[in-house]
A and B are shown apart, each in its own frame.
Chain A
Amino acid sequence: MSKIILIGANHKTAPVELREKLSFSSEEIVTALEFLKQDKDIKESLVFSTCNRTEILYIPETGEQVNKMIEFVSRHKNVAVSEFKDALYTYKDDDAVLHLFKVASSLDSMVVGEPQILGQIKQAYRIAVENNASGVLLNRLMHKSFSVAKKVRKETGIGDNAVSISYAAIELANKIFSDLSQKTVLLLGAGEMAELAVEHLISNKVKQIIVANRTFKNAVELARKFNGQAVKFEEREDALKDVDIIISSTGATEYVLTRDQVKRAMKKRHHQTLFFIDIAVPRDIDPQINSISNAYVYDIDDLKNIVESNIEQRGKETIKAERYIEEAVVKFRKWLESLAIVPTIKALNDKMSSIVEIECNKTLSSLKHLSKEDIEAIKRMTQAIASRTIHDPILFLRNTGDHRDDSLYLNVTRQLFNIDIPEEK
């Protein structure tokens, strides 16, 4: 039976400097795969690399070839083996499959449940297929990993909750307003925090961004960057009339918006909803504003609390996800075992014998005049036809030649005769 080996380093084992050194760009992956294909000891291979991990999944022809692979990485990325050897993990067979399924299902991600990883793995698989680096085993394994990941996403709540502060804020905004593209955002303060928050909002496409800052020059600069409008810091109360979301991140030591200011503004805007996101420490927005009807104030701690409880929720969902993954690993192993020669031949024999028996009985039951000896003779003959029919295919399977891929032919045989382990759905 072929071995499945996975070596790699991720955010848990390697610091970011090392991960940067080990990471492969798409072009580098193509060259790496090209190189691995030339290697007689490696049957199939696949490389995937994101900012949090670099992993190589491969099927060796003989042995495990782990050291060879490590040297390969060292040469290819120009990093000394001693520098990254400690950060590497090596998984074999079931463990490798388990690890792959976990990665694809986003259980191994830095932010568990984040949805990008599956797309990145699919991309890596596409490159491997396009370059003919993957074969029967990795193809099946990768497809399995996609379906497990989909199942985990669908059946568990692992991707349901916001686990970053800006995402939690946007999720809240989406539960307050029905259409963010019609909403205007007021930024109080033009610091780095403000910029980060707005970048997320822009990806959610708000209608307009207004920036107010004590140093007007900075407000103008940031406004220009986001195609927005700058106003004087003193004008902030007037600005409340026309905005819907306020993100505050000034360095002020006192509240920059008080309850009375907002109350006055609320009247002018006919009590249309206002959502305050206060990411400043110390706080910018008077928490009392939350008691005004149709005004909602969330400060950094509120958002952190949401994120924490969401992370806790994800932890519970992880247990469920792991169960699905373990089931999938067992199934994959069964398929892998069935790819050996002996079970394939047995399955083939069984299938033929049962066809012959069914057909034979059907015919013989209508031929009442035959003697017992005749029946025996006919039965023997039909069985003989069956075994002669599959004799050559079996001979071929037993000896597919030195340089041919056994698993490929075994897989084809199983599909041709429909004796493959049934796929779900």
Chain B
Amino acid sequence: MNLQTADMVLQIATVFYIVSMAGYVLFLFNQKKIYQKTALCLISTAILFHCISIIVYTITTRQVPVHNLSQSLSVAALALGGMFLFFQYKFDLKILGVFASMLLSAIMLAVWIIPATPIEQNTVLKGFWFYSHILMVFTGEASLALACGAGILYLLQEKGIKTKHQGFFFKRLPSLDLLDNVGYTCLTTGFVLLTIGLVTGFVYAKTIWGRFWSGDPKEIFSVGSWIVYAALLHLRLYSGWRGRKSAIMTIIGFFIIIFTFLGVNMLLGGHHQAFTK
């Protein structure tokens, strides 16, 4: 077992992601169950290979591969895949696979296109709090990505019904209730995970740098996006912000997450920078 093996397995996973996306697109147009079933099998296989690749890497180098942008994206994609399978199993919302497989294929292509920067040995990035932080933040953000996907599907369906033009999506998408419900579940799951992720992050910061909060731009934006989601959940529970408004907010929230994940490190720097060099 070595790094070449890990790379090769990851390449296989990427191919499976792309083929599964093709299957889902066929399903979107054709609505034949066999396409969706095949695509789901393909994406599951891709996630399995992806997982193996990361495990091989971790065992070989004795560290989780989150030391440059390409590696971080790959782990984020794996988290997304895992959460997708979880929600797919829970709700059987077949059409969500179209969104998930497209996003996964795009991220994996980016993983291969972005040049891998050499990895600096960093003894700080270890320990229980660090791994909990990583796990919670990545799965949390993956759930929020799916919430965004459900939100997009909701808006597509809602627009058709509101304007009384039953277009391409009317038959292909499920009911508004179900889409809203899926979005809400993804949102709450993601919010809880993100909250735990932030808390473990602060605890980890305390153990390493001796303080919970160092005013790092990423910290600021993370807390900022957390507040956006907290506000959304509050509005939903107490002011009836459901449906369309909620869907728009989840989409906006996810863009803030993307910016926090990528933009902050690239534009503003800070001690999270190493992850996304």
A residues near B (Cβ < 8 Å) are 160, 172, 174-179, 266-267, 270-273, 290, 293-294, 296, 298, 302, 305-306, 309
- Least distance between A118 CB and chain B CB atoms (Å): 21
Query: Of B171, B174, B243, B244, which contacts A160 at CB under 8 A?
Result: B171
A172-B161, A306-B166 given as contacts; is B177 within 8 A of A179 (CB)? yes
For residue B108, give the distance in angstroms from its CB to the closest CB of chain A: 33
The residues of A that contact B162 with a CB separation of less than 8 Å are: 290, 296
Report how far A178 CA is from B183 CA in the complex, Å: 14
Quick check: is B164 within 8 A (CB to CB) of the other chain?
Answer: yes
Minimum CB–CB distance from A370 to chain B (whole Å) comes to 56
In the complex, B242 has a CB within 8 A of chain A: yes
Nearest CB in chain A: distance from B47 CB, A = 27
Asked if A176 meets B243 with Cβ closer than 8 Å, knowing A290-B162, A302-B164, the reply is no
Write the chain A residue with the least CB distance to B244.
A293
Interface centre among B241, B243, B244 (most CB of A within 10 A): B243
Pair B164/A176 contact, Cβ less than 8 Å: no
Q: How far is the CB of B155 from chain A (nearest CB, A)?
A: 12
A-B contact count (CB 8 A): 51
* Distance between Cα atoms of A128 and B73 in the complex (Å): 67
Q: How far is the CA of A298 from the CA of B161 in the complex (A)?
A: 9
B126 in the interface, Cβ–Cβ < 8 Å? no
Per DSSP, chain B at the interface is helix
- Which residues of chain B have a CB within 8 Å of any CB of chain A? 157, 161-162, 164, 166, 170-171, 173-178, 181, 240-245
How far, in Å, is A65 (CB) from chain B's closest CB?
46
Q: In chain B, what residue has the closest Cβ to A268?
A: B240
Whether the pair A175, B241 counts as a contact (CB closer than 8 A) is no
Contact indicator A175/B164 (Cβ below 8 Å): no
A270-B240, A294-B244 known; A176+B171 contact, CB < 8 A: no
Which of A160, A178, A267, A306 sits near B240, CB closer than 8 Å? A267
B177 to chain A, nearest CB (A): 4
Is B243's CB under 8 angstroms from A298's CB?
no
Question: When the two chains form their complex, are residues B176 and A176 in contact, meaning their CB atoms are under 8 A apart?
Answer: yes
A112 to B173, CA, bound (A): 25
Q: B177–A294 contact, CB under 8 A?
A: no
Beyond A290-B162, A305-B164, whether A175 also contacts B244 by CB under 8 A is: no
